[in-house]
Chain A
């Protein structure tokens, strides 16, 4: 099975910082990757699909890039409401797999 490794697992940042999270796949998954944001006590929310397509209603400060085995989620200017845990997920084939998550906290 293909594994997804996210880095870092924990990130401390300030408001207005540029933040980058990486997701590496153990084998190529073309562009079949999604990114989710999860806040405490809430369901995950889709941010990005097809590696770089912004879900409707998601602020443009979020962006995704990559293909094959290496992907990034970038928040261009971190806002107070962005402090959360972020997960990548591959959906090219089964089993669908999530990365281990990246918790973004306030510095």
Chain B
């Protein structure tokens, strides 16, 4: 059974930093692309970024709204995905989801999601 569990959310002041974690099980972590997606309270879904798999050298992509402030990394030895968030803004307040990407026809769609961890940026 595929499982993803996020942690690390909390209250942080504007300009602060936070690191989110996502531990996965039920699949070979190094084979899969991994995404972070967020949802502000009462709003829609917003893609944050992606880590490609080992075969693609774990390269990353980011949304323009977070590029240069957020960094995705992963540790295959512990089946963990991370999101380091720096220079946080109030508009980063959201529920952050970790999600798995599955390859098909050379591209990756998102199939399984964790339950999310809440980040609140406020003074």
Interface residues of A, Cβ cutoff 8 Å to B: 1, 32, 34, 36, 38, 42-46, 49-50, 55, 87, 89, 91-92, 94-101
Contact = CB atoms under 8 A, between A and B. Distances in A.
A46 B111 contact: yes
B111 A49 contact: yes
Q: Secondary structure at chain B's binding surface: helix, strand, loop or mixed?
A: strand
Contact of B104 (A38, A42, A50, A89): A50
Given A49-B109, A91-B107, 16 more contacts: A1-B64, A42-B115, A43-B97, A87-B45, A89-B47, A89-B109, A92-B107, A94-B50, A95-B47, A95-B61, A95-B63, A95-B64, A96-B50, A96-B110, A97-B47, A98-B46
A46 B45 CA distance: 13
A38 B44 CA distance: 10
A4 B47 CA distance: 13
A98 B111 contact: no
Size bracket of the B interface: 20 to 34
Judged by DSSP, the binding face of A is: loop
B57 to A, nearest CB: 16
Interface in B74-118: 97, 104-105, 107-116
A97 B45 CA distance: 9
Contacts of B50: 94, 96
B61 A34 contact: no
B111 A55 contact: yes
20 contacts: A32-B107, A34-B109, A38-B45, A43-B97, A43-B114, A43-B115, A44-B37, A49-B109, A50-B104, A50-B105, A55-B111, A89-B45, A91-B107, A91-B109, A94-B61, A95-B61, A95-B64, A96-B50, A98-B45, A101-B44
Given A43-B97, A49-B104, A95-B63, A100 B44 contact: yes
A87 B44 contact: yes
Interface in B6-26: none
A32 B105 CA distance: 9
A101 B104 CA distance: 24
